[in-house]
Structure 1
């Protein structure tokens, strides 16, 4: 069993050192971190602090995915308390005063636990006050008779109007003084209350750490009767996030998703169109015998997608282990046998009639020059483009699997890393520049790159429904490709997949 703890400013330096001796201590959690964690049944994940605004916040579906996999998930003090209150009904365990108040509705605003803090190297030094600590300080002072309810309510209301990045002792006192609701005596009392207030976030965080790292003996533990009575629905978004979570961390480029490597070659590899058609044809060929073995219906099973996509549904793909993505049938089969099996499958699905007529919906995926080719050739080219939209690739990506099986994958991955490092350096020197790129210049560059060909044809050959889709996918690689164009010509380093 492994215990993972995500924590930042809510743990003191001493507590962080203690936690690191009994658990894997990680920075504040952000969107995608839980999916990259690799936690399994019996493992424990504790969420204390989490990012938002600057980075995507940890998603509820990520927590549910862990819970469904048999991972214990705990939360308290900050982002963890918020998520635990929202997901306690699904089995996430909450700890501390802040969690309880979120759960019962006494606290509702997400930003009450937010604060501005330093980096890991700075020990996550807090620069502002968490509103929840101000709330508790005022409540405790009112109960002790130090301030009236009216004063407590006025100060809390004014503090809540401040952005969380501006909530400091000085700014809260300044607002209280400017409101006219407090006399000089009340202001002096308020200053002392705020300065002496306990950090409830840190108290809750320590309580959770103690519960995770020093649980009571089994005989003294409170028995749990919780039974998971819900089913995780693996949505397209969750599948997409999981695909992005497959990858590795580069010290310079950061997280490198495998799926993005496929996107890189889809835009820039000289031989991608031929690669895509070959992989798709073998995949379709493997699907036909698998369909026969399961006895599935031989009726067409597709649905239209926005942008002209056709997405496969039940009956389209092989279901047996031997035909999962990345296993594209017997490699010893001749190209003729593979094409014949793929065509049989497309005929079964209704994309090609026995009389040799191609489904009109597939014809729009052929370039102008391809429309004069024989029907069997046209339908194979169209199928490689139409039947593998992004929504399908989120579930399984045969192109990525085939790409990883080639001898050129390490070199391609290195080129992709080079591109990511280039982009990161560019963002540091000119933040936001990538989002301000002119579309007309991108069109000119890629038109010239592909020999002056119409970009609509280039887009289709590479599996994009429209030029806009191609340009959207190409945007992260455009400046790198443009900067490297002369070097490619000089040392003959085009991006090629090969065999």
Structure 2
């Protein structure tokens, strides 16, 4: 049994391992981290800290997916308390005072637990205060007689008005004094918090570790309704790293994307796989038989009428002018492949992995992914606001158009298995900076028979 704990500014790894010697401590959780875990029977997950703002926060569906697999997921203190309050009805377990404040609706905002902090090499040094912790410190000072109700109101008002990154006790007191709080009262409060330094988030983290140490790890209760598989969750699963290349985590989905962008002959591979998936025929089916079976499937679903000499009007949307003059069967097959879409119950990445795994093309694509990640990391250090997904659509279209030798890439995107422009931006944009800085050579992709 392995306990995976995601933490950072709230509590350090040494303190966690002191209470749970065999726990695996991870950085603050982010989108995709839970789906990348290789969990076994009896494993459990505890979320204390998580990132957001410049990095995608952990999605609710990711947590619910683990819960529905029977993995206990605990939360406390920060992102963990917030997600536990939102998902306790699905079986996530919340611990601590901050979780109770969220679950009871006393506090509701995401920024109640948000803080500005350093990176891992700086020990996640905290540089601002969580609003919920400030509220509790102010309330404690009022209950003990240091503050009256008016002083509490002014301090809370000042704290709420600040952005999470600016929320320090000194700034809060300064703003409250500007709003009418007596400066002597403000200084007394500052002295109290410096002297006592009661950290509500850290206290809740220790309470969570106490519960985990008591081995309270029974499987979570199943929710009354199971969350259905969605295209989003399926894509997140496929985005989880499966290998490290030159120290860079690489997913099958990113590798597939590299093959789609840079592989010559990928269109033929995509066509073969789509027709195979539509028909359910074996991989070694004769090309003519595969094409004929796909057309019969289209007829059975009412997409093509009994008279196959006439191309249905609806298929014209997926074809350009010259393609509409192709023989009707060939034009119909082309339209079927282009209109194919990823769906929760349709395998797309897996057949490509099966077809390319172990080939030089797949290895080459994995290396390109690693190069792209390193390139983007370097560019981000040179320009902190850099993000390849901010590249304009027109520039992305011009880029792939040049690579593929087409003036208008709309149909070329579909022929290579992209869902369209938005899909190119989400998956393909990460490769554009690399291809500009260090042009990527195309490589052959085994295309099969069709």
Structure 1 unaligned blocks of 5 or more: 287-327
Is 1:76 equivalent to 2:76 in the alignment?
yes
Tell me by how many angstroms 1:454 deviates: 4.5
Is 1:45 equivalent to 2:45 in the alignment?
yes
Are residues 362 and 266 of structure 1, via their aligned partners in 2, closer, same or farther at CA, if it must alter by over 3 Å? Answer: farther
Counterpart mapping for 1:209-224 below 5 A: 209-215=209-215
Is 1:256 equivalent to 2:250 in the alignment?
yes
Tell me by how many angstroms 1:53 deviates: 1.0
Q: For residues 225 and 322 of structure 2, what CA distance do their matches in structure 1 show?
A: 53
The one-character-per-residue Cα deviations of 1:324-365 (angstroms, maximum 9, x if unpaired) are: xxxx5152x322232232232222223333321333222332
* Larger CA Rg, structure 1 vs 2: 1
What is the match of residue 389 of structure 1?
Answer: 341
Q: For residues 147 and 39 of structure 1, what CA distance do their matches in structure 2 show?
A: 49
Tell me by how many angstroms 1:30 deviates: 1.1
Secondary structure class of the residue paired with 2:25: strand
Q: Which has the higher contact order (CA 8 A, sep 6+)?
A: 2
Q: For residues 355 and 373 of structure 2, what CA distance do their matches in structure 1 show?
A: 19
Q: For residues 496 and 366 of structure 1, what CA distance do their matches in structure 2 show?
A: 26
What is the match of residue 192 of structure 2?
Answer: 193
CA contact (8 A) 1:243 1:394 kept: no
Aligned length: 443
Are residues 482 and 283 of structure 1, via their aligned partners in 2, closer, same or farther at CA, if it must alter by over 3 Å? Answer: same
Q: For residues 468 and 241 of structure 1, what CA distance do their matches in structure 2 show?
A: 16
Secondary structure class of the residue paired with 1:74: strand
Q: For residues 152 and 409 of structure 1, what CA distance do their matches in structure 2 show?
A: 62
The one-character-per-residue Cα deviations of 1:280-300 (angstroms, maximum 9, x if unpaired) are: 2333332xxxxxxxxxxxxxx
Q: For residues 112 and 44 of structure 1, what CA distance do their matches in structure 2 show?
A: 26
Are residues 214 and 52 of structure 1, via their aligned partners in 2, closer, same or farther at CA, if it must alter by over 3 Å? Answer: same
CA contact (8 A) 1:29 1:57 kept: yes
TM-score scaled by length of structure 2: 0.87
RMSD (CA atoms): 3.1
Of the candidates 281, 284, 298, which is equivalent to residue 278 of structure 2? 284
Structure 2 unaligned blocks of 5 or more: none
Q: For residues 220 and 24 of structure 2, what CA distance do their matches in structure 1 show?
A: 28
Of the candidates 289, 292, 305, which is equivalent to residue 340 of structure 1? 292
Which stretch shifts more, 160-169 or 337-346?
337-346
Of the candidates 299, 312, 319, which is equivalent to residue 359 of structure 1? 312
What is the match of residue 310 of structure 1?
Answer: none
Q: For residues 65 and 26 of structure 1, what CA distance do their matches in structure 2 show?
A: 19
Tell me by how many angstroms 1:209 deviates: 0.5
CA contact (8 A) 1:283 1:398 kept: no
Secondary structure class of the residue paired with 2:21: helix
Secondary structure class of the residue paired with 1:4: strand
Secondary structure class of the residue paired with 1:150: helix
What is the match of residue 207 of structure 1?
Answer: 207
CA contact (8 A) 2:263 2:444 kept: yes
Q: For residues 48 and 201 of structure 1, what CA distance do their matches in structure 2 show?
A: 9
Is 1:247 equivalent to 2:242 in the alignment?
yes
Q: For residues 108 and 233 of structure 1, what CA distance do their matches in structure 2 show?
A: 27
What is the match of residue 446 of structure 2?
Answer: 498
Tell me by how many angstroms 1:54 deviates: 2.2
What is the match of residue 139 of structure 2?
Answer: 139
CA contact (8 A) 1:365 1:460 kept: no
Which stretch shifts more, 72-81 or 244-253?
244-253
Tell me by how many angstroms 1:56 deviates: 1.5
Of the candidates 296, 302, 316, which is equivalent to residue 350 of structure 1? 302
Q: For residues 215 and 460 of structure 1, what CA distance do their matches in structure 2 show?
A: 51
Counterpart mapping for 1:44-443 below 5 A: 44-184=44-184, 186-195=185-194, 196-215=196-215, 228-245=223-240, 247-250=242-245, 253=248, 255-286=249-280, 329-331=282-284, 333-356=285-308, 357-386=310-339, 388-391=340-343, 396-397=348-349, 400-405=352-357, 407=359, 408-430=361-383, 431-432=385-386, 434=388, 437=391
CA contact (8 A) 2:13 2:25 kept: no
Tell me by how many angstroms 1:279 deviates: 2.0
CA contact (8 A) 1:115 1:127 kept: yes
Are residues 4 and 379 of structure 1, via their aligned partners in 2, closer, same or farther at CA, if it must alter by over 3 Å? Answer: same
Which stretch shifts more, 349-358 or 141-150?
349-358
Tell me by how many angstroms 1:205 deviates: 0.5
The one-character-per-residue Cα deviations of 1:417-476 (angstroms, maximum 9, x if unpaired) are: 223322332333244374565666555554444445553453453345767866776543
